[in-house]
Amino acid sequence: MARYAAQATPWGLVALAGTLLMVLLAALRLDPWTLWPLQGVAVGLLAGAVGWCLDEPAAVVADAAPRGLVWRTTARLGGVALLLASWAAAVWWARSVLFGQAGAVLIQGWAAAALTCAWVTWRRAAGEAVPGQRWALVVIPLSAAWALVRPLEEALPVFPFAATASTWETSRWGWTIVAVVSVAVLVLVLARDVHLPASRGTQRARARLPHP
């Protein structure tokens, strides 16, 4: 598993994204009032990088191999764990300027990562090779736009701003629900892959292989 993880995980991207996460949240220490959108941008970057880690560019070969999706997803979790650790370290580093909401910010990142894992694994089980890349190219600009423009900030506080306690509470609940539902979906997708003789992705990959 270690050899597969070492070769399959995009470590360069993990290192770049981990560093950028630290830089984005460290920048908040300069002036959180004016630089706050960087927090939302960082959540989007974390989600995008996690998705990228779970991709299988060699799906045509790997999906037909005896090792199932659970095994391969578990092997790839090393990169995801590093990203989550970077996020936790970045939040800890910037905790004094997070308006007393370091816990809520931490939850945002972890919930976004859980949502990404669920969606990308579901698409992988359906036979898509690199759903994480597509996910990253949508979620990064969308979260940046949401953080910068802040639409519906009272009704839908995705990335709450400053010291308005009520929006933080709503946001914390929203992200917690996202995390719980995502983990449930992830478990379901992986359990289905274990119990079915072969997932759709595996069936498709095997059908593509030449007959002996």
Partner 1 sequence: MTTTLTTPHTHRSLARHEIRSYATSPLFLIGLLGLTAVTLLSALGEDDGSSSTMNMIVPATLLGLFGMIVMAGQTRRSDRAAAAAGASPAGESRRTLALMAAIVVPLAAALVWFAISLVVLRSSPPADWAVPFGPFGLGDVQVVMFALGVVSAVGGPLLGLLVARWLPGRSWAAVAPVVVVLVTILLQGNFEATWHWRVIWPWTYWYGPLGWSNIESQVSHWVALPGSPWMWLVYLCALCVLGGLVALFHDPESDRARLRRLVVLVGMLALVALALTMFLGLDQAVVNPIPGSSF
Rounded distance between C-alpha atoms, residue 207 and residue 212, angstroms? 12
Q: How far is the CB of 103 from partner 1 (least distance, A)?
A: 22
Which residues of the chain form contacts with partner 1 (CB under 8 A)? 10, 13, 16-17, 20, 23-24, 27, 30-31, 33-35, 37-38, 41, 44-45, 48, 52, 133, 136-138, 140-142, 144-145, 148-149, 151, 162
Angle between helices 131-149 and 102-125 (to 10 degrees): 150
Distance, CA of 28 to CA of 23 (rounded, Å): 9
Supply the minimum distance, in Å, between the C-beta of residue 66 and partner 1.
29
Measured in whole angstroms, how far is the alpha carbon of residue 174 from the centre of its chain? Answer: 16
Nearer Cβ to partner 1, position 136 or 205? Answer: 136
Q: Smallest distance from the beta carbon of 31 to partner 1, in angstroms?
A: 6
- Scan for tokens 């997803």, then name that residue: 73
Work out how close the CB of 51 gets to partner 1 at its nearest, in angstroms, rounded to a whole number: 9
CA count, 13 A, side-chain hemisphere, 60: 3
Nearer to partner 1, 95 or 134 (CB): 134
Nearer to partner 1, 152 or 194 (CB): 152
The two tokens of residue 176 are 């917690």
